[in-house]
Structure formats: C-alpha cells, structure tokens
Chains A and B, each alone.
Chain A
C-alpha cells in the first residue's frame, strides 16, 4: 500500500472514522514489514492490539456454582457459634454449682468446728461441776 494512502487512513483512524476493513489494512501495514519512521508509534499500537487478542481464558468452565460448599461453611460457622454459646452456658452453670458446693463445705466445716468447740467446753464445764459435787460431798461427810 502506498504511503500517502496509509497517511490518509491514519488520519481517519485518529478521528475514529475508519471502517473495520480499513483498520484491518492499517493493521496489516503496521504489523508486517517496514514502517515509515514518522509513523512508528502506530506500529507499537497495532502490534499491541494484535498481541492482546491472543490472550485466552484457560481455566475450565463450570456450569454449577460451588455455592453449596460456601453454604456448608456458613452453616458450620453457625453451628460452631451455637456450640460455643452452649458450652459457655453449661460451663458457667457447672462452675457456679461447684462454687456453691465449695462455699457450703466451708460453712459446714466452720459450723462443725464451732459445735466441736462448744461440746469440748461443755464437757469441761460438766467435769468441773462433777468435781464440785464430789468436793461438796466430801465436805458434807467431814462436817457430819
């Protein structure tokens, strides 16, 4: 293709007035063979455009979304939080029970200690009274 023609087409191309066919002509000119130095920038552009069209989607196409997996995960998280909540609740209950029992045992120990003290003291008093009676008997005997 003549250079003058290409220059005309390039002008149209910049104004977005070229047809697809004319653009194909430009593409051929700029990607093959020698390009006039003052039009070098178009070589870069058209080379890039051509190269970009080679890129393909290489992954497999799936028609059924993997949503089920995601949903399972969601349910799993819900279940996990319920379990956690329950375990905290149950744990708190047993802990409270344990605390209560401990407290009760403490009180029981204290109370039984108190009773023991009372009983020993009472025994002491009884002994003392018994002694007193014995003493009195002796004195009465002597005095008689």
Chain B
C-alpha cells in the first residue's frame, strides 16, 4: 500500500476520528494529537490493515482505546488537563440567546455522561453508524449498546426539560 492509497482510505474518516477523540479528551489540541497519532499507527501497520474489510471500524476502535489510555495516564499522573474549550459556532444574530444556550447545554450534558454512553451517542447520533458497526467498535452486544444509547438519550432529554421548566424563566 503506497502513500496515496493509504490517504484515500484514511481521509474519509479522519474527521470522525477527530470528533470522537475530542468527545473523549475534550480539548481540541489533545484531540488533534490523538488523531495524528492514530494516523501514524495506521500507517505503520498499513500492510496488515490492507486485508481488513472494515478499516474505518478498526480505526474507530483504535481511537476509542487510545483515548481511554490517554485518559487513564492523565488520571494516574493526577494531571487534570481536561478543560472545556468548547467554542461556540457563530449562530445568526436573529436567533435568541436562550436557544443557543440550550443547544450548547447539550454539549455539557454529553460531557457529564459516562464514557461508554458518550462514545455510543457520538457514534450513533452524530456519526450515524449503524448498530452492527457500533457493536464492533465498542466490542459490546447489540442489546447493551441499545440500553446505553437509550439511557444517554433519556438523560439528555430529561435534563433539558428540567432546565426549561425550572431554570431560566
């Protein structure tokens, strides 16, 4: 596999790798480093992965594992590098501030979910993978994936309703 073949395979899903890393590692810089590292790893094992049927799923699994390791080593060294540098995308001026707040609220709510639910909601609701692929990526049974996804969706929804009813009046 030469360089251009490799890039042809990797480029279509590099953003997905980046977004999953960012979901787990929070900071943009860390997610960029993780993405770069992952591409190195794939390039180094290019002979092996050439035979894989689903390189993308394999890459997503690797991303998940790599981010877990990063998180673990951070916890071990007591470095809480995690900081929320979430940037708001410009929303047009005519939209209400409250509306924008509520959309950003979803980001914070996902941040508070357990790691596993975070990954699954990222893979399903943002990247729109089908259940078979998600099961492979996270190495879980379909029912377990559905339960986790359902929990995550319900948690987010309930928190949003709560905020709307009791929060800003």
Secondary structure of the B contact surface, majority rule: helix
Q: A51-B103, A57-B17 are in contact. Are A41 and B161 (CB under 8 A)?
A: yes
B51-103 at interface with A (beta carbon < 8 Å)? 89, 99, 102-103
Residue contact B157 to A42, C-beta cutoff 8 Å: yes
Q: A44-B102, A48-B106 are in contact. Are A57 and B14 (CB under 8 A)?
A: yes
Enumerate chain A residues within 8 angstroms of B125, measured Cβ to Cβ. Answer: 23, 45, 49
Enumerate chain B residues within 8 angstroms of A41, measured Cβ to Cβ. Answer: 102, 157, 160-161, 164
CB distance from B88 to the nearest CB of A (A): 10
Chain B interface residue number, banded:
35 or more
Q: Return the contact of B43 from the options A20, A47, A57, A63 (Cβ within 8 A).
A: A63
Q: Return the contact of A14 from the options B89, B102, B104, B150 (Cβ within 8 A).
A: B150
Q: Return the contact of B39 from the options A16, A45, A55, A63 (Cβ within 8 A).
A: A63
Residue contact B15 to A56, C-beta cutoff 8 Å: yes
- Scan A14-47; emit 1 where CB is below 8 A from any B CB, else 0: 1111001001100000000000000011101101
> Counting CB contacts under 8 A, is A69 at the interface?
no
Cα(A38)–Cα(B102), bound, Å = 15
Enumerate chain B residues within 8 angstroms of A49, measured Cβ to Cβ. Answer: 125-126
Chain A interface residue number, banded:
20 to 34
Enumerate chain A residues within 8 angstroms of B150, measured Cβ to Cβ. Answer: 14-16
CB distance from A64 to the nearest CB of B (A): 8
Enumerate chain A residues within 8 angstroms of B3, measured Cβ to Cβ. Answer: 63
Enumerate chain A residues within 8 angstroms of B128, measured Cβ to Cβ. Answer: 20, 23-24
Enumerate chain A residues within 8 angstroms of B18, measured Cβ to Cβ. Answer: 55-57
> Counting CB contacts under 8 A, is B136 at the interface?
no
Q: Return the contact of B146 from the options A16, A53, A54 (Cβ within 8 A).
A: A16
Enumerate chain B residues within 8 angstroms of A53, measured Cβ to Cβ. Answer: 19, 126-127
Cα(A123)–Cα(B99), bound, Å = 115
Residue contact B36 to A62, C-beta cutoff 8 Å: yes
> Counting CB contacts under 8 A, is A13 at the interface?
yes
> Counting CB contacts under 8 A, is B30 at the interface?
no
> Counting CB contacts under 8 A, is B141 at the interface?
no
Residue contact B164 to A13, C-beta cutoff 8 Å: no
Enumerate chain B residues within 8 angstroms of A16, measured Cβ to Cβ. Answer: 145-147, 149-150, 153
CB distance from A42 to the nearest CB of B (A): 7
A-B contact pairs, 13 of them (CB 8 A): A14-B154, A15-B146, A16-B150, A41-B102, A41-B160, A44-B105, A48-B107, A51-B103, A52-B19, A53-B126, A62-B39, A63-B6, A63-B43
**Which residues in A have some Cβ–Cβ distance to B below 8 Å?**
13-17, 20, 23-24, 40-42, 44-45, 47-49, 51-57, 59, 61-63, 65
Assuming A16-B149, A45-B125, A51-B89, what are 19 further A-B pairs, CB within 8 angstroms? A41-B102, A44-B103, A44-B105, A44-B106, A44-B160, A45-B156, A45-B160, A48-B104, A51-B103, A52-B107, A53-B19, A55-B22, A56-B18, A57-B14, A57-B15, A57-B18, A57-B35, A61-B11, A65-B40
